[in-house]
Copies of this chain bind each other. A is one copy, B any other.
Amino acid sequence: MDSALVESGERRIGWAARAMPVLTAIGARFAAERPLEGLRVAACLHVTAETAVLMGALKAGGAEIALAASNPLSTQDDVAAALADYGIAVHARAGVDRDAYYRHIHQALDIAPAVVLDDGCDLVNILHTERTELLDGVLGGCEETTTGIIRLRQMAAEEALRFPMVAVNDTRTKRMFDNRYGTGQSTVDGIMRATNTLLAGKTVVVAGFGYCGRGVAERARGLGARVVVTEIDPVKALDASLQGYDVRPMAGAAREGDVFVTVTGNRDVIRGEHLAVMKDGAILANAGHFDVEIDVRALDELAQAVHRGVRPNTDEYVLADGRRLLLLAEGRLVNLTAAEGHPAAVMDMSFSAQALAVAWLVRERPSGLEPGVYDVPEEVDVEVARLKLAAAGIEVDDLTPEQERYLHSWRAGS
């Protein structure tokens, strides 16, 4: 074990923990109550300092943990070292190839988990296809991302899902805060670190106006950009329009954009036909979970030359007509690769929901939850928000008894 690496990882984790007062409080409660005593957990998450604080809380609660990385590029090796030193089985290393990525997931599954934590549904997918012998032992799990939920719901619809999964992504706290504020800030942060481009006055095209897209659009506008939104859902498109954004199809937006950010959960959002009409110097970034939103293969085919690393995490593709397109982070998550992912303050909320959801799964075990996708119980959500406000020193009003009565009585007239 490289002790300098461990120390660096511990410092990083300590820094993150400061901005995670809610999860820290839950960890302290877990340490006292040991609600997860002996529980085997397999997790496939970004191996970052914030994840480490979650792992610490679960371990404090009594869990035994094996951790793989949910993305080959986001692993912080020093954090991995510190976690290993703390007694957690970590199967992750920055920059590994596809084979090693999947091998690591298998290694994490070797723990024969009772609970799984997933971020994009790869671990759950492998469990249902290549490691079916482990399925009977699984009590349930949590999924962190929109993309993962889509896949889980599809599995449930096909009756392929074999245990209950809590859609941590679908809590109000996760969707509003993590997706909107976390992805919003870290995506523009990643673009600035990679390119140092001035966003004021630039045209930023945001593909997708879900919670994440909304966050990116708000931050880009907040930095002075003119924002164009593309969508496929008429309701979201209308919402974007009513918030003053330009809304148009990608075919038109492609000609105008200085910076493009995909955040749709879908594939090939920026395709060859779009690349063909972009301006010289256009910057392409992806903030969606998988690296399929920008068709990098089409970009490779169009390019006469590729200059890797003209800036950190920035590759320049020179097209036949001389135009240069700049691809950030190889089309992978720009906020994790070029910046540091969600600020710890954001992860504090979604990981706290995750920790409480694991405890809830264990508590519900006797009643035997059916396989399917579950919402995080409302009270978990409210509890997380309440703890977060308390940590920030913000007070809210309480209902008076008359108000409580009023809200529950339909007989009061106008």
Contact = CB atoms under 8 A, between A and B. Distances in A.
Contacts of A230: 396-397
A154 B410 contact: yes
B177 A238 contact: yes
Contacts of A245: 226
Interface in A2-28: 11, 15, 18-19
Contacts of A392: 201, 241
Contacts of A120: 414
A192 B225 CA distance: 19
Interface string A161-190: 000000000001100110001101100010
A81 interface: no
B181 A242 contact: yes
A249 B396 contact: yes
Interface centre among A218, A235, A403, A408 (most CB of B within 10 A): A235
Nearest to A381: B235
Which residue among A198, A311, A382, A395 has the maximum number of chain B CB atoms within 10 Å of its CB? A198
Contacts of A339: 192, 196
A398 B232 contact: yes
Contacts of A365: none
A176 B406 contact: no
A7 to B, nearest CB: 12
A231 interface: yes
A96 interface: no
The 8 closest A-B pairs by CB, nearest first: A222-B222, A151-B410, A198-B343, A234-B385, A154-B410, A201-B242, A198-B345, A181-B200
